[in-house]
């Protein structure tokens, strides 16, 4: 390889590494999704492209696994569910993709600060790893991400110096 070509490739790799050092991991690292408009049950199987509606199955699981409209997982894609003679492909297990039954979304997550509409996890990560992450902490109540955990928000769990005795 001509040295000028090698030099420019090396320079380009170094530039990518340098950019990464400046903290450009954004919320896509967590699969953060916002609904296109007002969709009250966003991020649940009932409006996922991979849900086989007439059979109450998920395209990714086995045919034996019942999947109701209220469930969810990290492979969610917003869209009109499948209907007809689709067969599940048994590609992943529900455990592998964080399958949960019930409401998800920021509004039901223990990291969601409803007063400021901010994510406590994103805030904490930005504080702890500023050279690695640059996460927009402002989130929408109807949005969701793969770090969802059902619960009530407690500021002291996320802000330093606000722990209860
Ligand atoms: S389990 Fe996941 S991929 Fe399957 S239908 Fe529900 S949200 Fe979609
Ligand atoms: S509030 Fe919960 S679901 Fe929303 S972005 Fe933060 S961790 Fe994810």
Q: Does 145 contact ligand 2 (Cβ within 6 A)?
A: yes
Q: Could you give the C-alpha distances from 17 to 5, 14, 26, 29, 130, in angstroms and in order?
A: 19, 5, 16, 17, 16
pLDDT in tens, the chain (165 residues): 555 556 666 666 666 555 555 568 999 999 999 999 989 999 999 999 999 999 999 999 999 999 999 999 999 999 999 999 999 999 999 999 999 999 999 999 999 999 999 999 999 999 999 999 999 999 999 999 999 999 999 999 998 766 554
Could you say which ligand is closest to the alpha carbon of residue 119?
2
Is the alpha carbon torsion for 87, 53, 108, 24 positive or negative? positive
pTM, whole model, 2 decimals? 0.84
Count of other CB atoms within 10 angstroms of residue 161? 5
pLDDT score for 16 = 56
Q: Give every CB contact of residue 77 below 8 A, 6+ residues apart in sequence.
A: 48, 49, 50
Q: Answer for the pair 144, 42: CB distance below 8 angstroms, yes or no.
A: yes
3-class SS shares of the chain: helix, strand, coil, % to 5? 30, 15, 60
Q: Does 82 contact ligand 1 (Cβ within 6 A)?
A: no
Q: Answer for the pair 138, 95: CB distance below 8 angstroms, yes or no.
A: no
Protein residue whose Cα sits closest to atom 4 of ligand 2: 106
> Which atom of ligand 1 is the closest one to the Cα of 43?
7
């Amino acid at each position: 390889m001509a040295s000028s070509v090698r030099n420019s490739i090396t320079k380009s790799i170094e530039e990518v590494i340098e950019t990464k050092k400046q903290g450009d991991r954004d919320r896509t690292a967590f699969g953060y999704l916002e609904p296109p408009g007002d969709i009250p049950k966003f991020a649940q199987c009932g409006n996922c492209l991979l849900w086989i509606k007439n059979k109450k199955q998920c395209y990714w699981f086995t045919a034996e696994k019942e999947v109701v409209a209220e469930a969810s997982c990290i492979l969610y894609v917003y869209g009109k569910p499948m209907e007809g003679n689709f067969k599940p492909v048994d590609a992943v297990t529900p455990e592998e993709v964080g399958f949960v039954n019930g409401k998800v979304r920021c509004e039901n997550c223990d990291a969601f600060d409803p007063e400021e509409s901010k994510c406590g996890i994103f805030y904490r990560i930005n504080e702890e790893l500023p050279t690695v992450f640059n996460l927009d902490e402002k989130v929408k109540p109807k949005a969701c991400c793969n770090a969802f955990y059902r619960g009530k928000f407690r500021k002291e769990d996320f802000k330093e110096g606000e722990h209860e005795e």
